Chain A
Amino acid sequence: MPDVAAYDPLGVAGTWRRRRAKLVVYVLLGLFALYYVVPLAIVVLNSFRSLPDFSRNGLISLPHSFSLEYWSLAWSKFCVGGTCKGIEPFFYNSVAMVVPATIISTAIGSLNGYVLSKWRFTGSEILFGLMTLGVFMPGQMVLLPWARVLGLLGLSNTIAGLVLIHCVQGLSFTTLFCRNYYVNIPDDLIKAARIDGAGFWRIFRKIVLPLSPPILIVTVIWQFTNIWNEFLFAVIFSSGTNQPITAALVALSSGGMAVHQYGIESAAVLMAALPPLLVYLFGGRYFLRGLTQGAIK
């Protein structure tokens, strides 16, 4: 799949018309870009502004003050739901939840994908379909059962419980992605390896795994982003200082009575959004490539 258009739709008209048409295209692109960028820009600017600045000039205006203190306040001093330690503990909760869940679900998903694409046995296609069904389950349907399961395992209201939930749910996605990707590895490679005497694990380690980085990047980015940004389970299956950052955010910005500390809240929101954003900025290109190759099926 080429990265750039192979033809130039505007390219064969006369030069003057072509330039004018391209100008229109850029203007339109710019206008739309505003729709997407302005909210982010406003929040970023707001995270540096003081409270009096807000009361005088409203939420959407050019900064009339500048201070970096709101960021550090948001991080370590802000009061959220009873404790005044900033969002730092919640941030680390999220990290403690996302990293293991991503790694485990990716690893197992990759193994599953390997089995389902290269070691087919009777009924493996049906089983694959079954596993993929998990992708479509709405959160609300599994809320209560999970609560029971976590209770039985003694994992209620722990990060470990959330890790378990995200692993199991993530398995469906990661298996789906990996299997669709591994299907494209020529079967002849596997046959040659088996003739050479390699077995299940050896083939995985020496042949399949080295070919996996593109899809592993996709799965890791997908899982990281989705689990970090997830809210429903985060808010139900944890409480107090155990909550991941998405739950803390809601508590933070809907604090009813008190005057809204917009500067601090903006900084907090940005810090919550930052990890997936950074992942996307640096890995986005690979993610897109891998995703669109698999999704158009």
Chain B
Amino acid sequence: MTFGFVSGAPNQSRPLRERLTAIMPQLVLGPSLLASFIYVFVFSGWTIWISLSNSTILPDYSIAGFHQYVELWSNERWRIAYTNLFLFSSLYVVGTTAIGLFLAILIDQRIRAEALWRTIYLYPLAVSFIVTGTVWRWLLSPSTGIESLVHQLGWTSFKFDWLVNREMAIYTVVITGIWQASGFVMALFLAGLRSVDPDLIKAAQIDGASMPRIYRRIILPAIGPIFVAVLVVLLQSAIKIFDLVIALTGGGPGIATTVPSIYVYDLIFQRGQMAEGAAAAMMILFALSLVLVPYMIWSNWRQRREAGRA
């Protein structure tokens, strides 16, 4: 039964089985912790190391200083990539939030067949970015898609060649990104709207406020935390965007819609510039932490405030 000492006083040390049981939680957690630790810290550490080296196709572990970062930032292509990122992120976040909120408010109006509408707006969430990008590429391509359809209908001077237009291609990514994500945002807002105390609405109605006023001054402020959560989720998915662009435009035309993550891929796998690629990956991580760290601090502060008041 117990694998403990048998000699003398059995109380001197706890049997092995008991000791195992006592640290069972740690034992169970152990492997995952180890894996996570390696995954988060060792991998990042390795990438940081490489970004400071001269690695090209194969890793070279001698530290060479920060010149990869300098290389990176003086590169035209990188500048296009992160300009695209800013542009895309801001439009994507604003557009998705606005549409998601609008749809949530519409559905909140006690309409019928709510499950049907929710399913329609939400299914893009289940679809791969690759599928989305491919389908929208077909739709937006001037030779086969909307432009060609309108031509066929008779309006031959209609132009909708954004997809292959250097200036406008990034906006096709925005349209497609909004299509994919707005349903999810709608679901979050809808849950928030539903969690507002209905007595507040009744009180405001008796007070004489019109419905728009009630939304603006009572309901929306009450779901403030959800806005923050939505913002964080969308921003971090925008920063990491890769699959969608690959499938929709391939980064093109040319490099017009290239984004940082595509540039990293290119540097490492197409151009054999491992160190510079690692530096670019670090920049992505940096951008992410700009979003996440303030959020975690804010969220912590909020939790502490709630706990203190309770």
Residue positions of A touching B, CB distance < 8 A: 1-2, 4-12, 21-22, 25-26, 28-29, 32-33, 35-37, 39-40, 42-43, 57-61, 108, 111-112, 115-116, 119, 121, 127, 130-131, 133-134, 136-146, 148, 168-169, 171-172, 175, 199-201, 225, 228-232, 236, 246, 249-250, 253-254, 262, 265, 269, 272-273, 276-277, 279-281, 284-285, 288, 291-292, 295-296
A281 → chain B, closest Cβ, in Å? 7
With both beta carbons as reference points, the residue of chain B lying nearest to A35 in the complex is identified as B179
Could you say which of B149, B240, B269 contacts A58, with CB atoms under 8 Å apart?
B149
A61 to B26, alpha carbons, bound, how many Å? 61
A133 to B288, alpha carbons, bound, how many Å? 12
Main secondary structure of the interface of A (DSSP, over half): helix
Q: Is the beta-carbon distance between B144 and A39 smaller than 8 angstroms?
A: no
Q: Is the beta-carbon distance between A1 and B121 smaller than 8 angstroms?
A: no
Main secondary structure of the interface of B (DSSP, over half): helix
Evaluate whether A144 and B268 lie within 8 angstroms (CB atoms) in the complex, with A10-B109, A25-B106 already known. Answer: yes
Contacts of B40 in A (CB 8 A): 130, 133-134, 137
A249 to B133, alpha carbons, bound, how many Å? 11
Could you say which of B36, B106, B128, B288 contacts A138, with CB atoms under 8 Å apart?
B288
Q: Is the beta-carbon distance between A168 and B106 smaller than 8 angstroms?
A: no
With both beta carbons as reference points, the residue of chain A lying nearest to B125 in the complex is identified as A280
Q: Report B97-130 residues with CB < 8 Å from chain A CB.
A: 99, 103, 106-111, 114-115, 117-130
B90 → chain A, closest Cβ, in Å? 19
Q: Is the beta-carbon distance between A36 and B145 smaller than 8 angstroms?
A: no
Could you say which of A131, A171, A277 contacts B126, with CB atoms under 8 Å apart?
A277
Q: Is the beta-carbon distance between A276 and B282 smaller than 8 angstroms?
A: no
A169 to B40, alpha carbons, bound, how many Å? 10
Q: How large is the interface on B (under 10, 10 to 19, 20 to 34, 35 or more residues)?
A: 35 or more
Could you say which of A4, A29, A37, A116 contacts B110, with CB atoms under 8 Å apart?
A4
A279 to B243, alpha carbons, bound, how many Å? 21
Contacts of B242 in A (CB 8 A): 139-140, 231-232
| A-B CB proximity, top 3 nearest | A229-B128, A280-B126, A119-B25
B231 interface residue per 8 A CB criterion: no
Q: Is the beta-carbon distance between A59 and B138 smaller than 8 angstroms?
A: yes
Contacts of B149 in A (CB 8 A): 58-61
Contacts of A5 in B (CB 8 A): 108-110, 193-194, 198
Q: Is the beta-carbon distance between A127 and B33 smaller than 8 angstroms?
A: yes
Which of B50, B103, B135 is packed against the most chain A CB atoms within 10 Å? Answer: B135
A145 to B35, alpha carbons, bound, how many Å? 13
Binary flags per residue of B282-305, CB closer than 8 Å to A gives 1, else 0: 101100100010000000000000
Could you say which of A1, A9, A61, A232 contacts B195, with CB atoms under 8 Å apart?
A1
A282 → chain B, closest Cβ, in Å? 11
Contacts of A250 in B (CB 8 A): 130, 134, 246-247
Contacts of B281 in A (CB 8 A): 138, 140-141, 143
* A121-B25, A137-B43, A142-B47 known, 15 other contacts, Cβ within 8 Å: A1-B191, A7-B202, A29-B107, A33-B121, A136-B236, A137-B44, A140-B280, A140-B284, A141-B284, A146-B43, A168-B36, A199-B21, A200-B24, A200-B25, A288-B191
Q: Is the beta-carbon distance between A140 and B261 smaller than 8 angstroms?
A: yes
Contacts of A115 in B (CB 8 A): 25, 28-29
Q: Is the beta-carbon distance between B126 and A225 smaller than 8 angstroms?
A: yes
